[in-house]
Amino acid sequence: MKTYSHSGAVPVIGALAAAVGGLVAAVVGGFVYAYAFCWIPFVYINFLIMAGFGAAVGYAVAAGSNWGNVRNSLFVSAAALVCMLAGIWIYWGAYMWALGGTEFGIMAWSPGGIRALAEHLFANGSWGLGKGQAVTGWLLVCFWVAEIAALLWVAVTVARFSTERPFCEACLVWTEEVKGMAKLTGTGSETEWTRVIEGDLPALAAFSAESVGSLPVRPPGRGPLRPLRQQPLSDDHRRSDHSR
């Protein structure tokens, strides 16, 4: 039996909403993360802020995609990746502002400005595992690579989490998850049931829900259960029950 998969549709309004939402979160989160990393002396708190930064970008992309009915997991992942890379770039320029003030202007985000900052941090470090133990050199570069990888992974993972929900192409709305077992009325001889067996799950909509208070019995053959309505007790049964 076939399982559900998205149609792959990417409406223009949905693509714009995902991109704009992700970029706004990248800019705001980049500044917050930069100043927090510069002024908060607790490394572990900064790691949590880093995770929140990536999650915020991924959530913004997911929210825009859901609002715009984007049914393409690859697009959502790519949008989260690009927006997170933009956020990392914003973070590096904002970190220069946090260290030396805003007199650097927009040059803080130029390739030369970011390179100068990287060279300064490579030689002097920006944080340490202990007092007076600044992390510098290639060890710091390893942390940079791990930081970028973690941010990208968190952003893409959070953004893709929302794409697991099925979308109804007929009514153009996202489905709501309801846990439990749906009991439907049928005999197994319907043409719609044949379509269901072949993998056309939307054909289940042709079956009505089983009424409350009915008992399921299996008809001859290999069809699904069908409801058998309980018959009301006769007067003789009622008198017999009362006598007990």
Instruction: Give residue-wise pLDDT tens across range 140-164.
Output: 889 899 999 999 999 999 998 877 7
pLDDT at 37 over 50: yes
| Inter-residue contact 73 to 88 (CB < 8 Å) | no
> If you average pLDDT over every residue of the chain, what do you get?
80
What is the pLDDT, as a whole number, of residue 99? 85
Can you read off the two tokens belonging to residue 227?
Answer: 């409801």
Mean pLDDT of 67-78: 91
Query: 228 in helix, strand or coil?
Result: strand
Which residues are registered as beta bridge partners of 134?
Answer: 128
- Confidence grade of residue 131 (pLDDT, cut at 50, 70, 90): low
Of 128, 94, 126, 127, the residue nearest 113 (C-alpha): 94
pTM over 0.95, yes/no: no
What span, in angstroms and rounded, lies between the C-alpha atoms of 115 and 79? 26
Structural tokens at position 194 = 């044949």
pLDDT value of position 126: 73
Does the pLDDT at position 188 exceed 90? Answer: no
Tokens of 169: 């192409």
